[in-house]
Amino acid sequence: MVVGQNFITDKVTTTVTLENGKRSTINWYQFKVPITDYEKVVGSIQDFKSIRFMRMFVKNFQAPVILRFARLELKRGEWRKYTFPLLEGSENLSGGEPTGSLDISAVNIEENSSKTPVNYVLPPGIDRVIDPTNPQLRQLNEQAMVLKVSDLADGDARAAFRNVELDVRQYRRIRMEVHGEALPGENLRDGDLTVFIRLGTDYKNNYYEYEVPLHVTPPAPPGGYNNDSDRDRLIVWPAENRINIPLDLFTKAKLARNEEMNKPGSGISTLTRFPYTDGKNTVYISGNPNLSNVRIIMIGIRNPGESRNGFENDGMAKSAEVWVNELRLTDFNDQGGWAANARASAKLADLGTVTLAGSTSTPGFGSIEKKVAQRSTEQINSYDLSTNLELGKFFPDKANINIPFFMGYSETFVNPQYNPLDPDILFKVALDAARTKHDRDSIRRLAQDYTRRRSINFTNVRFGKTKAKQKPWSPSNFTLSYAFSEELNRDIRTETDLEKRYLAALNYNYTIRPKNVAPFSKIKFLKSPALSLIRDFNFYYLPSSVSIRTDINRIYGYTKLRNIDHPAFKIDSTVYKDFLWNRYYDVKFDLTRSLKMDFSATNIARIDEPEGAVDRRYRDSYEAWRDSVWKNIRNLGRTTNYHHIINLTYAVPLNKIPVLNWTSHSIRYGITYGWDAGPITPDTIRLGNIINNSRKIDVSGQYNLNNLYNKVKFLKKINESGKTPPRGQQPQKKYKTVTFEKFIPQLKAGVPRSIFHQMGTEDVKVKVLDKNKQELPVKTEIASRDRIVVSSDSTFESVTVLVEGQVEDKGNPFVIFLRGMGKALLGVKTISLTWSLSEGTSLPGYMPGSDWFGTQSFGGSLAPGIPFILGNQDRDFALEAAQKGWLTSDPRLSQPFLMSRTETFNLRSNIEPVQGMKIDLTANRQFSRNMSVYYGYSEQDGWNFTRGQMITGNFTMSTITWRTAFEPISVKKGYRSDAFDRLRLNTVVISERLSRQRENRRNSFSPSYND
């Protein structure tokens, strides 16, 4: 078992005293197995995402061996092996995996302090960290990453890498400690190998690289290197190996490369690996890396080729072990910035206000919680001027006009600290390279991020209402709004980014209180309540409100980009246009007090514009654009969407009939219709438009049975008996007089006598009579609700005691029982019924357009017809539309014809069979059916409306399950359920019923089909 073979990385030999008193030498071996470099695969395992078991086998031993297992750990590594070629001169070429091997592992002070040939010690100036979570001042382990290369060919390199996301511009240096040693049996001299660190946005095309010749540490003397000796530490970690990179060295290398590249006849390009000397060390740059976006860090070992090695080179393959430690950023930029805000506002009496605000910030500014890399790297200056004015103040008061006005203007200037095209080069360096002031101003303008915003608004310009009666043409019914906003942006990659928004809106809103006409209200012979249905007939001859709103909304965007990579090739500008004309209509008309109608419609039209930019500088194209736009405006635009809603609500006046005044009924009828324009296609493709409609009918009834019961006096008396009085009032009780008589043979003097009358009241009158019915002079005392005490000073014979009291009259129990039964029979208090029907149709491929209310005269008829726009549902409508030429015959239409129907019934009843006990009874039923079918046309068969027909639905119904909910299921019945068995038998009945229905449609279905 040799260190360096079979994954053995270290060997520790110790001498210990055994339990029998003998001393013995013990060898401990450290194995480090790279699990990704497996030798074979057993089974179908593909990765390491789901490892359930780990097994270790010991085999091929010639004699019995006792193994003591100390510790097994899984080491997580963020550094991974780079497997692509790094051979000098061919790095950017594709190739197979390199032949030399690289092992990545770790060494640490606790496990490798006696490692051979060089034991691990800490780098100079580095101390072990004290564990802050442990009160015992425990030191944490300190370790380094190991890169072990074997047979590294001349001119080749091996490396480890990790992915990062770093902005290191605010730091001045990168430092890392490096140690190198020869493998056992290898002859390695100083300078035979180099160590490099690579930073960039990728691994081989855009990076900075810093290379240091490797100085080899000699094998440790007996006893090893002393970790407490600064001299020994410096031997293990030589100062010549230390990587200490000023980050501005990278930018100097880039500027030098760019200067050489711009020379006439230069063969250097961004694809060239450009060297830049730093004493004995070398900087390389490839592509366009930048320190603001470091995405990878690579650390590697290179066997330099003979052509560039300053040391004597034997051209042989090399093997070595390199430790790298303490990779860190140091000396951060502590130069801060500042920022300020200012705001001023002036009030112009009752005319309005003017506000001016400004702000500025410099590079280096950041709030206290910001990290170094999060501080600002831009100088930002901005100002904002805005004003709100009431321009109606410039008119006389009698004009009664309101003109709210808003104007805003703002600019923002963002000047970068770094060159936007080279984000790790200071921008002032690029300016210093310019030869003239004009060039510097041009560069500064190109790099600047500039934003300008301006806007003008007139919102709700209107005339105020006057005391005069409102007329349909009154100016106060009109409201006007106009808004314009513009935003202009430019930056290093955008030459112009302009967006303009225009909005003009005109609102008309007329609201009145029309007079109600009741022609029969004053006819005398109709005064009878039975004729109130005729007497209360009424109507309105005018709507209650009319609202019309129209707005024109235009968005124009123009963007022109700069071609940064290839300035000679111009990028065409892009133009975005969106010009809409929206119209909204609303009418509310109460036809009668009971019948009300609402109508609302929306029409969205598009003003089509010619292609290309709109620029007044090019007069001919601008005139052509203006003529086209005005022509479309005169035609009211191209309608892309029309939609209207009609709602009718009718409160059925049956409650005006005296015998039905305990009921209330209402009917609601809702209609929707929509027309949606199809896509604009070549003339050879005719997909048509889409129309859809729907209707919903709601019928509801409320029945207050209490009012019905009260129409019969006998039932009313039963219904009102036992009612709970209103809150705060005591129930009124009925009382009756009860007499109790008690005969006493002798009432002795001085001896009290208790009389138990059992009346349950203290409101009693007591008389004591002799045998001649004369009242005797005795004393009486009310002892309780059921007892009195009689006493006398004399003795009397044959005494009769009469007790007369007032007790509550609870009535005859039999009568009370009959009254309770009557109230139970009258327990149903209210019943509520609702029934609704919802239906809808959607038809694609509809060719006519939309003119008035979504209709158009097409082929000699009005399409799609008055019934359809009023919500009519007809299964044959699509066929009739096809026969009239309203549908497309294009076979590319892939949308189905849809119809839906949903019927819902709900019942709710409130039952109170016993006072204080309320029961809510609800029942519902819902059935829905959806049909979709594709249609097509052929010369041979004509129109076909049965392709891919699909009918789906849903049925739900409430039920009372008391009969089967508590059905016993036991082992004696084999856990069978009679209810479930009946359900299974009923499925056969339903299946046979459906099969007979299908047989009537298609002969291919057999009546016996019940599977």
Does residue 98 carry a pLDDT above 60? Answer: no
Question: Three-class SS string for 281-296?
Answer: EEEEEECCCCCCCEEE
Mean pLDDT of 465-469: 81
Does residue 1010 carry a pLDDT above 50? Answer: no
Q: What CATH number is attached to the domain comprising 148?
A: 2.60.120.260
More confident residue, 57 or 824: 57
Mean pLDDT of the chain, nearest integer? 87
Q: Is residue 559 part of a domain?
A: no
Q: Check residue 17 and give its pLDDT.
A: 86
Does residue 1007 carry a pLDDT above 50? Answer: no
pLDDT band at residue 338 using 50, 70 and 90 as cut-offs = very high
Does residue 372 carry a pLDDT above 90? Answer: no
Does residue 1006 carry a pLDDT above 50? Answer: no
Look up residue 368 and give its two tokens.
Answer: 């206290």
The answer to whether 529 and 658 are in contact (CB under 8 A) is: yes
Residues listed for the chain: 1011
Query: Of the segments 492-496, 524-528, 764-768, 826-830, which one has the largest average pLDDT value?
Result: 492-496
Strand blocks (E) in 680-763: 689-704, 735-747, 753-756
Q: Check residue 699 and give its pLDDT.
A: 96
Domain span including residue 1005: 966-1011
Alpha helices in 670-829 (DSSP H): 705-709, 713-720, 813-825
CA distance 79 to 323: 13
Beta bridge partners of 416: 378
Where a domain ends, among 332, 366, 387? 332
Q: Check residue 470 and give its pLDDT.
A: 82
Does residue 127 carry a pLDDT above 80? Answer: yes
More confident residue, 406 or 28: 406
Q: Is residue 929 part of a domain?
A: no
Does residue 932 carry a pLDDT above 80? Answer: yes
CA distance 325 to 648: 83
CA distance 233 to 128: 14
**pLDDT tens-place string over residues 648-670:** 999 998 888 888 888 899 999 99
Does residue 1004 carry a pLDDT above 50? Answer: no
Mean pLDDT of 456-476: 88
Look up residue 208 and give its two tokens.
Answer: 């900075």
CA distance 243 to 213: 10
The pTM assigned to this predicted structure is: 0.73
pLDDT band at residue 714 using 50, 70 and 90 as cut-offs = confident
3-state DSSP call for residue 74?
A: coil
Does residue 502 carry a pLDDT above 60? Answer: yes
Q: Is residue 190 part of a domain?
A: yes
Where a domain ends, among 778, 805, 832? 805
Kindly compute the dihedral angle of the four CA atoms of residues 199, 202, 205, 207, in this order, to the nearest 10 degrees: -10
Q: Helix 813-825 to helix 713-720 angle, to the nearest 10 degrees?
A: 100
Q: Check residue 229 and give its pLDDT.
A: 92
More confident residue, 909 or 970: 909
pLDDT band at residue 814 using 50, 70 and 90 as cut-offs = low
More confident residue, 91 or 444: 444
Q: Is residue 679 part of a domain?
A: no
**pLDDT tens-place string over residues 247-268:** 999 999 999 999 898 888 888 9
Which amino acid does the sequence have at 692? N
**pLDDT tens-place string over residues 270-300:** 888 999 999 889 999 999 999 999 999 999 9
**pLDDT tens-place string over residues 764-785:** 888 888 888 888 888 888 888 8
Does residue 94 carry a pLDDT above 60? Answer: no
The answer to whether 695 and 671 are in contact (CB under 8 A) is: yes
3-state DSSP call for residue 269?
A: coil
Mean pLDDT of 167-187: 92
Where a domain ends, among 275, 303, 332? 332
Mean pLDDT of 822-827: 72
Mean pLDDT of 464-470: 82
Helices (H) and strands (E) in the chain, counts: 13, 42
Mean pLDDT of 318-332: 93
**pLDDT tens-place string over residues 507-521:** 999 998 889 888 888
Q: Check residue 726 and give its pLDDT.
A: 60
Q: Is residue 895 part of a domain?
A: no
Q: Is residue 483 part of a domain?
A: no
Q: Is residue 653 part of a domain?
A: no
Number of domains the chain is built from: 3
Q: Is residue 1006 part of a domain?
A: yes
Mean pLDDT of 81-91: 77
pLDDT band at residue 464 using 50, 70 and 90 as cut-offs = confident
Q: Which range among 268-277, 458-467, 683-692, 909-918 shows the weakest confidence by mean pLDDT?
A: 909-918
